Structure 1
Amino acid sequence: MILEVKHGYFGYSKGHDLLQDICFTLREKEIMTILGQNGTGKTTILKCVTGILKWQRGQTLINGKSIDSSRKTLKQIPIGYVPQAHPLSFPYTVRELVTMGRARHIGVFSVPSGKDKKIADQAIDEVGIRSIRDKLCTQLSGGQLQLVFIARALAGEPRVLVLDEPESHLDFRNQFLIIKLIMRLVRERGLSCIINTHYPEHALRLSDTTLLLGQHSYMFGKTKEIITEKRVEEYFDINVKILPVPYKDEEIKAFVVLDSI
């Protein structure tokens, strides 16, 4: 499976394109990260890719077939979207919320079948939240709620998983657990994945390709070639040093900020 964006343009006001001529390709079992400062359009790209917003020019294609924001198309495309975690107003249980991920497989006037509930339970087990399955989502921590949103997306049986800053607002340990979970899901389910993140070190650790987004400009390519000290300074306006840290059989990249506080 191949997802492509070709010459995508989008703006919230006429004559002012936030995104200009966006082009990239995501292949099967690949992880792509999107990096950039606040306000550069990272979340907007995800909404255009998933069809929540419609490109004003350009298109998103899956296996060469264009998608649009029509209800019929959105129901058919194999994309699971995980928005930024936010508190819920309605007291759904974890199991109820995850089962909502089956929506595109259920008729408008139908109720979840036994099969739908079984698939939802499998997604709950896959992300490791069975112990809170019957708990109200309004009572969950940020890390727990993020896992619930991921399980809800998995319940829809996607081929592409799109996550908007999944590690934001989480403590250091939970950030690491979310990253490990994403890598495992890609490996075991054979998913392709797009992730918005504020952390260049996370991108270097988990992604194959990176789209580095600036104000009306971007770069796309292999992560190790895109994320360099020079480009981090150019796109984030901060001076860093990227240091190799040997660990077991791999070399982890650590970022050290050189600018004084």
Structure 2
Amino acid sequence: MSCSACNTADAVLGDGHPCPGAAQAAPVGFGAPMAAPMAAPRPPLSNSWQNTAWLSIGLSALYLVVCVVRLVFTFHETSRIESILNAPGPDSVAQLNSLQSTDSLLNNLTLVGFVAYLVGYLVYFAAVRKAVRAAGLNSALLVKHWTYYAWRGAILVSLLASFFNAGSNSTDGSSDDAAQLIDQFKHIAMTTELYLAARIVTIGVLIVAVVVTRNRVRAAIQQVRPTAPFGAGYQPQGMAPQPY
């Protein structure tokens, strides 16, 4: 029996004759079979949303420092006022004015810090939600941690406490009784200290919440989308360089 491709006798080799003529070149041109189209890789996500996390953490840390400084000053202010009123001297008014000026400055810094840390968190929250949606993930991933709910609850409690204690945290200083004035200042100081302590805890909870959600979202995004930017030498998988 002869090979149908090269007419070589095939009596010894059998049906498995490795004839070079049997291998036909693949057709080129219009007759060539079309390869299945390959889906283009999804572009990698930007890491800019993680910068907003550090912004929120940084502003929160600064606000935390301001609250701690004001808390320490409040302890010092109470003892100083008590000693001045118990033993007044020629410079007592100047000392009280100096304490009041410092207290007003710290109060303003606390207000500015509060606004800054809230704005920083809102910027982070908006950026991370946008990144999560761009990756095709469920935005509910952000709130699946107890620290987020604890922070919202602490914010609500502190705001309510500030509202109900706003009228009681003031003294006109019209009383001539030093003991009565000292009691008024002590009451104000105690309320302020409790407020600052609660605020410090609230800030700490927020920092933990930002760190936790950042890590969770980053891990989830890396599972579905690349996060490295396109650059020199970057070659998506499945896209081999073509010779033309």
- Same-fold call, TM cutoff 0.5: no
Q: Pick the structure with greater CA Rg.
A: 2
- TM-score, reference length from structure 1: 0.21
- TM-score, reference length from structure 2: 0.22
Higher-strand-fraction structure: 1
